[in-house]
């Protein structure tokens, strides 16, 4: 099944609105105006207005249509459902409080790259995710574990240069000490992602 259908979203011409009423059992759907709009970042607040995550417009609209969240800030762009036009949210707030554990991110390649801002931790060059790999600071052959403290984003050039050695042995130096992805890390990334949107600032304590 198409992923768009799984989320309850499907494309349709963004010209006017459907003037008819919803049939029994018919779901309200959103018609994206363009892929870039639907993938734009949206700041997610807890019920207490505490920033807890960044999601895409598509997911934010799903949460709003399900009654799980409401828009606190919107943009000028609109998307169309089968019965109305909705302003694209910039900031949404969950209507029920959600407990966020101290360690809120799973250990994964995606999250390691996100923590390291898609930047090689040896040469400091920012690259697309497809041009980065993960490196074990302490090689696995020497007992190095796959953990937040031992995995870093690394370009292929530095990865080949380092090989099965420690950074010191390879003449490399880490840009920063790898740490777990904490809520503090998330806040820093939220500020980086939202630095162009003034609507985020009052929630991120600039």
pLDDT of residue 206: 55
The least confident of 54-58, 92-96, 160-164 is 54-58
The residue to which tokens 């040469």 are assigned: 123
Q: Is the predicted pLDDT of residue 31 greater than 60, yes or no?
A: no
C-alpha 91/C-alpha 194 separation (Å) is 10
Tell me the domain boundaries of the chain. 3-100, 109-170
Q: How many residues does the chain have?
A: 206
Q: What is the pLDDT of residues 174-202, one digit of tens each?
A: 999 998 877 666 777 777 776 777 888 88
DSSP string, 92-146: EEESS-----SS-S---HHHHHHHTTTB-TTT--B--GGGEEEEESS-GGGT--S
Give every CB contact of residue 84 below 8 A, 6+ residues apart in sequence. Answer: 17
Give this prediction's pTM.
0.54
Q: What is the pLDDT of residues 96-146, one digit of tens each?
A: 999 876 655 778 898 888 889 889 999 999 998 899 999 999 999 999 999
pLDDT of residue 141: 94
Q: Strand pairing partners for 43?
A: 54, 91
Give every CB contact of residue 60 below 8 A, 6+ residues apart in sequence. Answer: 42, 44, 69, 71, 89, 92
C-alpha 100/C-alpha 31 separation (Å) is 32
pLDDT of residue 102: 63
pLDDT of residue 140: 94
Which among 71, 109, 119 has a CA at the least distance from the CA of 92?
71
Could you give the C-alpha distances from 49 to 68, 71, 102, 137, 202, in angstroms and in order?
14, 12, 18, 38, 10
C-alpha 91/C-alpha 197 separation (Å) is 10
Could you give the C-alpha distances from 72 to 22, 64, 188, in angstroms and in order?
27, 11, 21
3-class DSSP state for residue 15?
coil
pLDDT of residue 132: 96
CATH of segment(s) 109-170: 1.10.30.50
């Amino acid at each position: 099944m198409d992923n768009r259908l799984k989320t309850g979203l499907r494309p349709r011409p963004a010209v006017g609105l459907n003037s008819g009423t919803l049939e029994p059992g018919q779901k309200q759907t959103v018609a994206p105006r363009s892929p870039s709009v639907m993938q734009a970042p949206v700041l997610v607040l807890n019920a207490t207005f505490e920033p807890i995550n960044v999601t895409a417009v598509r997911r934010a609209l799903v949460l709003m249509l399900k009654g799980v969240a409401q828009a606190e800030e919107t943009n000028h762009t609109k998307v169309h459902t089968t019965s109305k036009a909705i302003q694209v949210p910039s900031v949404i707030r969950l209507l029920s409080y959600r407990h966020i554990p101290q360690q809120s991110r799973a250990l994964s390649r995606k999250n390691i790259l996100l923590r390291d801002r898609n930047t090689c931790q040896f040469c400091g060059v920012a690259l697309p995710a497809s041009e980065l790999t993960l490196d074990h600071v302490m090689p696995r052959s020497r007992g190095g574990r796959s953990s937040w403290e031992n995995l870093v984003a690394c370009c292929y050039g530095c990865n080949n240069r380092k090989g099965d050695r420690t950074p010191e042995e390879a003449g490399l130096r880490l840009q920063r000490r790898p740490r777990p992805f904490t809520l503090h890390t998330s806040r820093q990334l939220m500020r980086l992602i939202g630095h162009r949107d003034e609507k985020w600032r009052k929630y991120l304590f600039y």
